[in-house]
């Protein structure tokens, strides 16, 4: 079904979640404003097309989950798992985000202008995440691919059991998790970081960041690594 709407306003309270999501999922283009989100879960999830969605207020769990191509802005705070398993597109949270932001995301850009809680970027598989504030503990746990940029501080066990994701942190790192180490910041890293900061509309210099990634010591089971398991 083809639906072309411009600057349409969708009221979650008046329509209910299913109707709002159905409209957004079926739209092929256009810009939408969602009002009265009231912390509703699973809002604007499963979008497939390059539409624009602005949500005026706070959202519950899994807002923008599995997004494909849409550009979604949450003008407020987001609950657990914002943009989980995102494939492409852009999701921006102007406030703070709860835990598991961008979990398992395969692609696209997630920007959180405020802070985010534990497990940010857990099992990320190619998504780019830029956080303006701090991130909680166990962020980038088992992170497989993609980039996580943190302008503030990172909590304990950053990048535990990380695979090939690249982490950039401007502030303090409370502790690194198993097999995560600080790595040399080379020109190509500064260049990709500058690009990410620009796309996220964050004002910071790449020179202020440190890079972290996998030591690749736990990629194969070995008795000498038993203490790390």
Partner 1 sequence: MAGFSDAPRTVPRKSWTFDDSTLSEIRRAAATGIYDIRGGGSKRRLPHFDDLVLLGASMSRYPLEGYREKCGTDIILGDRFASKPLRLKIPITIAGMSFGSLSAQAKEALGRGASAMGTSTTTGDGGMTQEERGHSQTLIYQYLPSRYGMNPDDLRKADAIEIVVGQGAKPGGGGMLLGQKITERVAGMRTLPVGIDQRSACRHPDWTGPDDLEIKIQELREITGWEKPIYVKVGAARPYYDTTLSVKAGADVVVVDGMQGGTAATQDVFIEHVGIPTLAAVREAVRALKDLDMHRKVQLIVSGGIRSGADVAKALAMGADAVAIGTAALVALGDNDPALEAEYQALGTTAGAYDDWHEGRDPAGITTQDPELSKRLDPVKAGHRLANYLAVMTLELQTLARANGKSHVRNLEPEDLAALTVEAAAMAGVPLAGTSWVPGRGGY
User: Judged by CB under 8 A, does residue 1 bind partner 1?
Assistant: no
- What are the CA-CA distances from residue 86 to residues 33, 110, 142 (Å)? 20, 9, 17
Both structure tokens of 221: 């089971």
Bridge-based pairing of strands 180-183 and 210-214 is antiparallel
Applying CB under 8 A, among 34, 59, 84, 176 the residue interacting with partner 1 is 84
Among the listed residues 81, 228, 90, 107, the one whose alpha carbon sits nearest the alpha carbon of residue 165: 107
Do residues 213 and 162 touch, judged by C-beta distance below 8 A? yes
User: Judged by CB under 8 A, does residue 69 bind partner 1?
Assistant: no
- What are the CA-CA distances from residue 176 to residues 138, 156, 202 (Å)? 9, 6, 25
Applying CB under 8 A, among 21, 71, 115, 139 the residue interacting with partner 1 is 21
Do residues 95 and 115 touch, judged by C-beta distance below 8 A? no
Applying CB under 8 A, among 87, 178, 181, 194 the residue interacting with partner 1 is 87
- For partner 1, which is the closer residue by CB, 46 or 76? 46
Please state the closest distance from residue 205 (CB atom) to partner 1, in A. 30
User: Judged by CB under 8 A, does residue 220 bind partner 1?
Assistant: yes
- Within 150-189, which residues bind partner 1 (CB under 8 A)? 161, 163-164
In angstroms, what is the C-alpha Rg of the chain? Answer: 18
- For partner 1, which is the closer residue by CB, 203 or 224? 224
Residues forming the site for partner 1 (CB under 8 A): 17-18, 21-22, 25, 41-42, 45-46, 48, 60-62, 65-66, 68, 80-81, 84-85, 87, 99-100, 103-104, 106, 119, 122-123, 125-126, 141-142, 144-145, 161, 163-164, 219-221, 223, 226
């Amino acid at each position: 079904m083809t639906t072309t709407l411009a600057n349409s306003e969708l009221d979650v309270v008046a329509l209910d979640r299913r109707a709002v999501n159905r409209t957004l999922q079926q739209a092929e283009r256009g810009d939408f404003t969602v009002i009265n989100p009231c912390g509703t879960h699973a809002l604007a999830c499963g979008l497939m097309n390059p539409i624009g969605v602005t949500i005026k207020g706070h959202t519950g769990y899994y807002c923008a989950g599995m997004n494909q191509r849409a550009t979604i802005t949450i003008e407020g705070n987001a609950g657990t798992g914002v943009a989980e398993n995102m494939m492409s597109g852009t999701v921006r949270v102007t406030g703070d985000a709860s835990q598991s932001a961008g979990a398992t995301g395969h692609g696209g850009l997630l920007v959180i202008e405020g802070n985010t809680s534990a497990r940010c970027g857990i099992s990320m598989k190619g998504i780019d995440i830029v956080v303006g504030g701090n991130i909680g503990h166990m962020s980038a746990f088992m992170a497989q691919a993609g980039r996580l940029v943190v302008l503030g501080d990172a909590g304990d066990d950053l990048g535990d059991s990380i695979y090939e994701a690249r982490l950039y942190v401007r502030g303090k790192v409370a502790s690194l998790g198993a097999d995560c180490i600080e790595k040399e910041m080379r020109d190509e890293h500064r260049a990709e970081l500058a690009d990410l900061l620009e796309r996220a509309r964050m004002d910071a210099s790449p020179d202020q960041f440190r890079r972290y990634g996998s030591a690749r010591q736990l990629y194969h089971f070995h008795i000498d690594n038993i203490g790390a398991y």
